[in-house]
Amino acid sequence: MITDDAMLALLAGSREYTVCVLRPGPAADRADRDRLLWEHGRLNCDLRERGLLSITLRIPESPEFAGVGVYACGPERVRELLADDGAIAAGVLTYELFAAQGIPGDALP
């Protein structure tokens, strides 16, 4: 059982993250879509290696959502990082950002 003190200590260590929700964009069906998505994945891998993108989840079976990412920085920094994403620039993907709080060390099993 987690005590109130243990929970308060855990919450005191929380920090700012940004949740990015990706959706198919207006140009989701363009001919070079696969190449653009491959490079989108390369950017994600680079951001992960640099410690900026903590979690990436693809949502392949949804017509409404393409994926979710959790960034270890604020929304303004994420906007700067996504400015280099060719799939977003080409309209293959669109995104929404949400400021969030989380506890460092949380991870997928």
Q: What is the pLDDT of residue 107?
A: 87
**Which pLDDT score is estimated for 61?**
94
3-state secondary structure the chain: CCCHHHHHHHHHCCEEEEEEEEEECCCCCCCCHHHHHHHHHHHHHHHHHCCCEEEEEECCCCCCCCEEEEECCCHHHHHHHHCCCHHHHCCCEEEEEEEEEECCCCCCC
Write the pLDDT tens digit of every residue in 31-86: 999 999 999 999 999 999 999 999 999 999 999 999 999 999 999 999 999 999 99
* The pLDDT of residue 46: 97
Q: What's the pLDDT tens digit per position in 88-99?
A: 999 999 999 999
Give the pLDDT confidence score for residue 52 in this predicted structure: 97
